[in-house]
Structure 1
C-alpha cells in the first residue's frame, strides 16, 4: 500500500452526529471543538456574545455548529453543519445532522460518506423511534462504526444502571439491523464528562472518552480491494496549437485506482481500450486513486460523454435496466407504485418507473409491512425500478459511491428518494405492476 494511502488511513476520519431533538448533538460537537482547542479566540468570543444576548449564564457551545439564523432563533439544527478540526493524532471532518423527524433526509446526506456515526440518546428518555430510525439508516448506509453517546448523564445523577439499560437495548437493536460495531459511552456534553476528558463523576466507566475513541478507531481505505470506477463528468478538448488532438475524460475517481496501460471498458457501451495517460493537476502521473480528480487519455478514439463509466475490463459490473434497492424516502410527496421519475446514478440521469414497492420497514420491531403501495417522508422501504436505459450498477455493499442513486421528480427537480442497490432487510414476493401505460414503460 502506498505512503499516501497509509497517511490517509492514520490521519483522517469522517464522522456524523445524529439523534433526536434536544439530545445535545450540537452541544457535543461544540464541546469537542472547545475542549480540543480547535476554535479560534474570536469564534469563542462571538459565541459568548450570542449566548449572553439569549440570557445564557455561560457560552452555549451548540452555537459553534448552529450557524443559520433560523437555527439560532429556534434553538434547533435544521441543516447539516460541517466542521473541520484536528488533534495531534488525527484530522476530522464532521457533519452535525438535524434531529427533527422531518429533517431525517439530512441525516442521509451527512452519514452517506461517514466512516463513523455518533448517535446521541438523552439518558432521561432512552431509546425512542428517531433513535431507531437513525440506527437503521446507519446500517443501510453501511457506516462501519457506530458510537452510542448516552448524553445528559448529569440529569440522572450519573447512575450506571440507567446507562447500562440504554446501552443494552440499543446495541441489541443495532446488531439485529446488521450494524457491525457499537461503542457505548456515557457523557454529559454540557458539563464535559467523557467528551474530551474522563469524567470524575463516573468512576464506574472504564472505557474511552468520545475524542479518544475518535482518535483511535481504525479507519481503513484499502484501495487494493475496491472496484475501480470513474464516472465521466466532462470531455476536455482544448484544441490548442500545443495539443491539437487532445481529448481527455475528466472526473473524480469514485473507487479503486487506475494505471497507465491498463485495459478499460466504457459503460454502458461496452467498448474497450487502454489508458494512454493520466493527468492530475495538469501533470502526467502513472497511477491515480479514489477521490482524486483526474483526466484520462485513451489510446483509441471512442464516443464517450458525460454519464459514461470507465472501469477496468477485468472488473466491469453488469449493466441492467432492473434495479432492486432499499431506499429512504426524503420528499414530502409520497413515492407510489407506477411513479415516473428520473434516476441519477453517478453522473448519468435516466428516466425510470417505480414498478413495485415490496415492503416498508417498521422501525419499532423491524417487521416488514408488505406491499404498502407507497412510501411517505422518512419511510425506509424496498423498491423495484425499471430504467429507460441500461445502467452499470454495483451492489452498495461493494461500493457506496457506485451502488447508490437518487430518484428525482422530473417536473420540478425535487429529490425524492435516496437508494442503496441490493441492500435489504428481507422482502416478500413482489406483485405484478398493473399501473396504466402512459408512455413511460420501457
Structure 2
C-alpha cells in the first residue's frame, strides 16, 4: 500500500507547534522556562504514544479514534496542571483551562482539515491501493461496499473464484490469479478462507511474502460476527473475541468512573441536599410509608443491587413484580409529579456514587423482568456487560417506561447493546444533554 511515511511525523510536529505557540502567546508566564517547555512537549509525546494515537489505517476517518483524542485531552490536562501545582507561581485555573480549550480546539480543527483534504485527494485518484479478492462468498458484497468508498482510496480490480461468473469484476479461476497479480502490480490481496484450500492459501502467502505484497485473510463465513469483535493472539493461534468492548480498557473504565464520581457528588451536594427534605415531607403528607423506594435490580454482570428512587406509589405488594402503567391507580399525586419530571430518579445518584450504577448506561430492570426477558429477547443479557445507568441511549430515543408490546423491549435491548459496543465519553455527554432537554420539554411515556 502506498502510504506516506511523513503523515505521522508531520502531524506530531503540527500538534507540538499548536501547543507551544498557544502557550507562548496566551500564557507566557507559566510557559517560558526550559523545564516547562520540555515537560509540556515530552508529556504530549508520552501520552499520545501510550494511547497509540498516531498510527493510522487506510480505513480510518475523523471519528474512528475520536475517543482516543478525548482521552488524550483529559490526561494531558491532568499532566498540565500537575506541572503548575509543583511550581511557585500565581495562575488562574479558569484561564489555564481556557488556554487548553484553545489548544485542544485547534488540534481538533487541524485533525478535521487533515481528513477532509485526505478524502478529497483520494476521491480525485491520489494515494490509491489496488486490491483483488481471491474467492467469492456472501461477504464479498459487504467488503465491496468498503472498497467503493472513494475517500478510503481503494481501487478494486475484481475477484477470482472457481465458480465462473458473467460479472464484469470476475477475473478467472483461482489457479490463474498469480500471473494476474504480477501483471497488474496488485498491492493488497484479500483471501476468502471459506473458498480456498490450505495449499492455495499457502501458495498465495508465499507469493505475497516473496513479492512485497500485503495479504489479508477473511475468516470462514459463519455469520457470527459482531460490531465489537477483535482478534487476539494466543501464541501464534488467532482467537476471535466477539465482545471486545470499549469499557474493557482501564483508561475507559477509570475515566467513566471518575466522571460518575464527580457528577454524582455535585448532584448530591447541590441538589439532593435540599431536595430530599422537601420531597420527603410531601411524600409523607400524602401517604404512609418510606420516603425512598428501594428495589433489587440486576446490574453489571447481572449482579443484584438495591436501586433507590423517591417513592411515587402507595405501598403495595406488586411493587417488585408489576411495572408502572398508564393511569396506574397505585400512583400518588406527588408521585405523578415527580415521575413526570423524572425527579423520582435523582436518588440513584447515590447508587452512582457507591459504584452500583453509572450516570449513563442501560437502565436496570427489576429481577423478575430480567428473568423473563433473558429467555424471550435475543442477546438481552449483553446489556449487562456495562453498569446500568440513570439514563441511557434507549431512554433518549423514546424507549423508556412501560413495555406495551414486545417490540418495545426488543428495540430497547438493541439500543442498549449498541451503547455497550460503541461507548465513548462524547456519547455519554450527548445522552446527558438529550436527557435534560427531554425532561424540560416533557416526555409522553414519563408516567
Output the TM-score relative to the length of structure 1: 0.24
Structure having the larger proportion of residues in helix: 2
Output the TM-score relative to the length of structure 2: 0.23
Q: Which has the higher contact order (CA 8 A, sep 6+)?
A: 1
Larger radius of gyration: 2
